[in-house]
A and B are shown apart, each in its own frame.
Chain A
């Protein structure tokens, strides 16, 4: 029998055995024993945040850029409730995360004790699974299971709530064992071979095929992105991706159509609308993607590969579902394609490609540049140009700047773009950048931000200063909550109710006050030099990039419309495009 140890020591031991090197957290009364255990070791580094929401987004950035589980440590009550936004964000974007929370001692549970909240009750619907550990004997097992559940299948956040008396109690530690024999939780990894073969047969016959890829490819690991490249080269099919899947397929490849969906390119959306075969790999037919559902890709046969059975048929009828891990399915598709044919499909689908080229010629991402004022699209293009030879990770907040980043920044590699897709959490990008930088100390990590979003978690800049993390916060400052303003222009007669960012801080002084560097740029001619100054500075930077104020994010599928009813950059009078039915939609 091994030596007994306290619950708190067990937490640290379990984290170590799970390969954890960094945790993001904030101390408080109910987690003091765990903080004491952290103090007495130096294998796991603790990143002290300024607010628990920041810790969760850091863990998300860390997880998404490495493929590892991100770990958060918070105290009871407000510590746990502050983490709820990040947990929900991780659930919607399928990010592996384990959040350990302190709880009041078991005898006090339910008594409205100081800093008590029903953590498992509150987080039940915003986690993949959660636990309240009432006995120290269960602790080691629960912690290992939490990691297994967070990272396997469709990844997601798991909360382990540990009362303070359990942290003090002595018990026996168990090392992690193979978890494949979990009684009730059995993720589907391998796809049905018959179905995969049927898919390949459909692909061989298709005249107008398109690959519609998503975050599942990235969650499936780097191999999946590599195999996706091979499969597309083999088939010659065009590829489009959701926001969450950007980087899985290189933007420089000529088969790349750009992002699809509400702010996707004309060619991607029209290809989705007109295709005869849609091969969805690790995406979930989200409403940002489909637009009006009864007019969504009306003439196509749809193949849907997803590891989560409940994603299949949830919003769109699918003809051929394949439940399995993307990488496994793609590998099998490659093998079967090779078995069945030695020719590449390119010639057979050349008509389809010429149609796509026509749509490309519409140049839906065109914008009118200016010598006087920095256009946000231009700013992102210059940023991309300046960083193209660096190992660059991009995070974003939520809004217009996020869509512009997705449209104008060419992503070449998976795990290099971190954004809040499903939940759309303003304030995600800055802490996510901190998390990415912790995981990749040598890389260039840039948060493409908006001046409104970034203020939601601004205080984490101070975390970056404390831990010498040279993140670059590139704020496209248009003094508006730009996407809110754009929708008010579209739907509410340009009555900009509460969407103007009044009383903005002086971001340069703010950066300096927090111990970083501030840069301001208002002149397009000086932009390149200013970006260089930002990249050359070895420390955190707040870059206040003053951009044109009322620029709209286009192209756009307006709410309630189909893929072939896009607003293009030259569409006039966009205030009258959306009808009454569309106005109720978000």
Chain B
């Protein structure tokens, strides 16, 4: 019966892990009480779970609720634990695994500063246009582009800017919502 055993961090798991880690996006609806972010972040660090990205903001002001979007990479059994441990926190209202529960949309907003001259500068502008990135600041020798999209898209854009004078990048982290009319 222990064939599908996976390590959970206990030293008593001498078996080798078999399943591969998966990237999941969790949407956590919480009471917007002081310290809620510390509770969530503390849970992840205390139990050795990964956080790839985390965003938080109040979404339902009149009810005092916030939505936290966490992107995590874990093996299936650890993922199940992450969800259950999150649900155990008193101010957590609901936890949804958007990756598991069907189709969802993911977006990230990124600001990319590029400093270059000549052909590189023109090329960066051309690529920005192709990626539908906006120029939100410009000087003689620099641009700041704003790009929105899935993490894979913005990562590709960033890597293309690398040789064209990339100075710095700032990312909001992933926000996600399910497709269709259903409410979380």
Contacts and interface: CB of A to CB of B under 8 A. Distances in A.
Given A293-B15, A319-B1, A585-B12, A132 B34 contact: yes
B8 A310 contact: no
Given A183-B31, A584-B11, 8 more contacts: A121-B38, A129-B90, A149-B90, A287-B11, A292-B12, A293-B2, A293-B5, A309-B88
A296 B42 contact: no
Interface string A273-316: 00000000000000100111110111111100000111011111
A183 B38 CA distance: 20
A317 B31 contact: no
B92 interface: yes
B39 interface: yes
Given A124-B35, A560-B14, A317 B8 contact: no
**Contact residues of A: prevailing secondary structure:** loop
Nearest to B11: A585
A125 B46 contact: yes
Interface of A: 120-121, 124-125, 128-129, 132, 149, 183-185, 287, 290-294, 296-302, 308-310, 312-317, 319, 560, 581, 584-586
* B interface bracket (residues with beta carbon within 8 Å of A): 20 to 34
Interface in B80-115: 80-81, 84-85, 87-93
Contacts of A315: 8, 10, 12-13
Contact of B85 (A132, A292, A294, A310): A310
A287 B88 contact: no
Contact of B1 (A125, A287, A300, A313): A300
B4 interface: yes
B41 to A, nearest CB: 10
A586 B1 CA distance: 25
Contacts of B117: none
7 nearest A-B pairs in the assembled complex, by CB-CB distance: A310-B84, A294-B15, A129-B90, A184-B93, A287-B12, A293-B12, A185-B90
B77 interface: yes
A408 B11 CA distance: 30
Contact of B38 (A124, A129, A316, A319): A124
A293 B13 contact: yes
A297 B46 CA distance: 29
A451 B42 CA distance: 37
B2 A316 contact: yes
A293 B1 contact: no
Nearest to A184: B93
The listed residue with most B CB atoms (<10 A of its CB), out of A149, A309, A584, is A309
Contacts of B15: 293-294
Interface of B: 1-2, 4-5, 8, 10-15, 30-31, 34-35, 38-39, 42-43, 46, 77, 80-81, 84-85, 87-93
Given A128-B90, A149-B90, A313 B4 contact: no
A292 B90 contact: no
A313 B46 CA distance: 19
Contacts of B39: 124
Nearest to A131: B33
A308 B15 CA distance: 26
B77 A125 contact: no
Contact of A310 (B5, B35, B88): B88
A309 B90 contact: no
A581 B11 CA distance: 10
B9 to A, nearest CB: 9
Contacts of A560: 12, 14
A292 B15 CA distance: 9
A301 B1 CA distance: 7
Nearest to B31: A184
The listed residue with most B CB atoms (<10 A of its CB), out of A125, A290, A300, is A125
B89 to A, nearest CB: 8
Nearest to B4: A317
A125 B13 CA distance: 24
19 contacts: A183-B31, A184-B31, A287-B10, A287-B11, A287-B12, A292-B12, A292-B14, A293-B2, A294-B14, A301-B1, A310-B81, A310-B84, A310-B88, A313-B77, A315-B8, A316-B5, A317-B4, A560-B14, A584-B11
Contacts of B38: 121, 124
B63 to A, nearest CB: 9
A300 B8 CA distance: 21
A184 B46 contact: no
A546 to B, nearest CB: 36
